[in-house]
Amino acid sequence: MVPGSDVATEAVGLRTHPLTSVVQGALWAAAASVGLISSIFTGDGWGDMNALLSLAISLVGGLVLGMGFGFLTWRFTRYVIDGTELRINSGIITKASRRIPYERIQSVDIAEPLVARIFGLAELRIEMAGGKDSRTSLRFLSLADARDLRRVLLARAHGTSPDDAPADEQRSIITVVSPERVMIGTVLSLDFLFAAVGSIALIVGAIWFGQFVVALGGIIPLGTWLAQIIAKRILQQWDFTLSRGDRGLRIERGLLSRTSQTIPYARVQGIAIKEPFVWRRFGWLRLEVDVAGYASHGDDEGVDSSSILLPIADRALADAVIAELIPGFATDVPRTAAPRRSRAFAPIGWRYRWVGANERTFVAREGWIERTTSIVPHHKTQSVELRQGPLQRRRRLATVEVHTPQGPVDADGRNLDADEARAVVLAQLARARAARG
């Protein structure tokens, strides 16, 4: 190879969309003004400056700085797609080059934050397994480019040539969760009820006693919590569409900011069935999924929302979706339940705690307020643990944990009979070994 040719190839490559800097500016301006508004509400603001003036300054300042920064980032960011990997070169002063070998890709998502969506732009998120730094973002591309790139990356990740993949993959819709359903579900969840009733009670109390300033200390955190619940459970799950493609399930959701996720079939590490207290009366449940890489970053969108496989569903639909991702699962399996003497550790919860397995999956159930059933396919078992503390030893109890990558799935059997727990661990190791072949 000619010396210097490496540099030459790095200078070519594709650029992200030129409007990136504008979006970046708008995002910064929004962030700056949101920060200022909340500090104005708590009474700080910027010293004695007029609130509107300071708001205008932060808006314009954020816009200009963000645009400047965004322009420079855009100017120095290029990406290259070749036969074996995706390379992203970036950095204004410190140069960074990230290589993403196709076979390491866990999932490829498209996110359209509200501001970017106005300009028809989207962010491409590529997840790899392991570590905090496993997500690579390419922002921003035009929506069509982002979709195209995702198609190419997913095809490459499965070792096929992107030319073989049809430009418009055939997708069949499994279900659309209507916004009304999501709203009803949210209203009937305990934390929403608590936050809403608490806020109303505080406001009424404040008016009744005329002590508005005192009550403000309680209303602001409760109100923020309420707003977060609404944003996370309703706005982000708006128009939730689950569809099926050749390579995995696709989730499209969001009212203001749209997100489009692909969960490849082979990458599912486990599924958690969650049945909150009130929902159980109606037979509703929520499905959350473990995909390596998803939960390791608490970004602006929150950890939970991208792990949600179905925000609200009936048992039959949920079973169908799980069966698609983990063939051969069953929750009706031979069980090892927590013995009665474990009630010292969980006076009520011990009754609802068991682990079990069939030939394909390990299942763990716990919780009496929110019942959680964790399902882990044997061939995804990362490691198995047996634990015992001094108090457990006195009651001949022990805890079993089947480890999965970080995420909502926690397949633990706490406070089981010690000998049974050991038997579960050994049996699980044997099953995991058999499943790996």
Partner 1 sequence: MDDLFTPPSGTWQRVSPKLATIRRILILIPSALLVVAGVLLLLLLAGLQWIGGVLIVLALAGAVWGWLWAGRNQRSWGYAENADDLLVTRGVMFKRLVAIPYGRMQFVDVEAGPLARAYGVATVTLHTASPETAADIPGLPAAEATRLRNRLTELGEAHGAGV
Site for partner 1, residues 166 to 205, rule: CB under 8 A: none
Is residue 326 part of the contact set for partner 1 (CB under 8 A)?
no
Whichever of 24 and 374 has its CB closer to partner 1, that residue is: 374
Whichever of 244 and 379 has its CB closer to partner 1, that residue is: 379
Give the separation between CA 419 and CA 428, rounded to whole angstroms: 14
Q: Return all residues near 367 (Cβ < 8 A) that are at least 6 apart.
A: 349, 352
Instruction: State how far Cα 327 lies from the chain centre.
Output: 23
- Select the residue interacting with partner 1 from 406, 413, 415, 416 (CB under 8 A): 406
Whichever of 351 and 396 has its CB closer to partner 1, that residue is: 396
Is residue 58 part of the contact set for partner 1 (CB under 8 A)?
no
CA angle 19/23/27 to nearest 5° reads 170
Whichever of 206 and 429 has its CB closer to partner 1, that residue is: 429
Is residue 394 part of the contact set for partner 1 (CB under 8 A)?
no
Half-sphere exposure of 144 (CA within 13 A, CB side): 1
Q: Are 377 and 326 in contact (CB under 8 A)?
A: yes
Residue 312 backbone zone (phi > 0: left; psi -120 to 50: alpha; other: beta): beta
> Shortest approach of partner 1 to residue 387 CB, angstroms?
5
Binding mask 113-142 for partner 1 (x = CB under 8 A): ----------------xx------------
Q: Strand, helix or coil at 353?
A: coil
Half-sphere exposure of 190 (CA within 13 A, CB side): 9
Is residue 303 part of the contact set for partner 1 (CB under 8 A)?
no
Site for partner 1, residues 280 to 299, rule: CB under 8 A: 292
Whichever of 123 and 401 has its CB closer to partner 1, that residue is: 401
Whichever of 251 and 425 has its CB closer to partner 1, that residue is: 425
Pairing of strands 96-101, 172-177: unpaired
Q: Are 153 and 108 in contact (CB under 8 A)?
A: yes
Binding residues for partner 1, rule: CB under 8 A, are: 106, 129-130, 267, 269, 292, 379, 381-390, 393, 398, 401, 403-406, 418-419, 422, 425-426, 429, 432-433, 436
